[in-house]
Amino acid sequence: MTVAVTGELIATRKVGAFTHLTFVAPGVGEIARPGHLVSVAVGDAVSALVARRTVPLHAVTPSGTYGGTVDIVVDGDRDPGMRWLADRRVHDEVALIAPLGRAFPLPQEPLPCLVVGVDTAAAPLAWLARALRDRGCPVELVVAGSDDRHLFGVVEARRTIGNVTVVTPGETGLHEPLRAAVRAGVRRQDAAIVYAAARAQELAVVTPLAESLGAVTQVAIHEDMPCGTGLCSACTLPVRGRDDRVHSIRACSDGPIVRGARVVWDQYLAGLAGELEARA
C-alpha cells in the first residue's frame, strides 16, 4: 500500500553537508518500515526539472499533532533536483508518494548484526538499528562519508546504539578503510547479517567481503531512481536467479533492498559507467 499526498514542509535544517527535511504526510507513518523509499516531485511550473527524486525515508511519525510526518535527508550537491529540494523553505509544498519498495527484512530470532551506511544512504540506519535492537539483536554500526561533513547520523547512533565506527577516506580513498571497518565489525561480534546502504561502488566492496566472512548481506541500493515506482525502468539491476541465470529487476520497486550476493556487481557497475559516459 502506498500513499500519495501533498506534503507541507514544517522543518528544515543543515546537517553537515546535507539538508534534513520534515514534511507532513498523513498515513505514511503507520505503514512505513526502515528501508522504504519516498518519491518526491521536484521543480515547479517554470522549472526544467521533470524527473522525480526517490530517496530513503529517514524517519516517520504516525498521525498526530501534524497529521503524521516523514523525514528525508538530501545532498544538495548531488544534482539539480536534490538542490531544488534542499532549497525548500518552511510551508513549501511538494508531492510525495510513500512508502515504496521493499523494507529491510528483520531476522526472526536475535542475531548479531552489522549495519553499514555511506553518506545520505545512512539516513534510515538508526531507525533500522532500533528495530533490530527491539528484536534482541546485538547491533554495531559503521558510518562512512567522503569527509567529516558527509557523515550522517553519527551523534544519533552513538546516543541510541552506542557501538559506532566512523570511516572517512584514507590515503587511497574510502574503500580500503571501509573494507577494514567491515572486516573488524563482522569478526568482533561474529555478525550473522550485514545490512549495508550505499552507492554501488561501496556495496560492491562490502558485499563480497561480508559474504566471505560468513555473513548474509542485505543491501540498499542508493543510485538514481527517477520515478520510484518501476514504471520508467531506469534503475535496472542485474541479479542472479535460482536458475543461475542473470535477470534484470528494478531497484526501486523490486528493491531497494536486495540480497547482496545476488547482484552481479561488475555488470551493474559497468552499466552505470556507460550511463555516465552517455550523459557526458
Query: How confident is the model at residue 49, as a pLDDT?
Result: 57
Same domain flag for 83 and 205? no
Single residue among 68, 100, 132 that ends a domain in this structure:
100
Q: Do 63 and 157 belong together in one domain?
A: no
Query: Are 77 and 145 within one domain?
Result: no
Structural domain harbouring 9: 3-100
117 and 216 in one domain? Answer: yes
Do 152 and 222 lie in one domain? The reply is: yes
Q: What is the mean pLDDT of the chain?
A: 91
| CATH assignment of the domain containing 80 | 2.40.30.10
What's the pLDDT score for residue 50? 63
Q: Are residues 215 and 143 in the same domain?
A: yes
> What pLDDT score was predicted for residue 279?
57
Q: What is the pLDDT of residue 232?
A: 81
Same domain flag for 96 and 183: no
Q: What is the pLDDT of residue 46?
A: 52
**pLDDT at site 171:** 84
Residue 260 lies in a domain: yes
What pLDDT sits at residue 79?
87
**How many structural domains comprise the chain?**
2
Give a yes or no: residue 108 inside a domain.
Answer: no
Whether 131 is covered by a domain: the verdict is yes
DSSP state string for 162-225? --EEEE--BTTBSHHHHHHHHHHHHHHHT-SEEEEEE-HHHHHHHHHHHHHTT-EEEEEE-S--
What's the confidence (pLDDT) of residue 132? 96
Domain boundary among 100, 130, 165: 100
Residues 24 and 121 both lie in one domain: no
Q: What angle do the packed helices 200-212 and 175-189 form, to 10 degrees?
A: 30
Residue 107 within any structural domain of the chain: no
Is 156 found in the same domain as 85? Answer: no
- Give the residue ranges of the chain where pLDDT is below 50: none
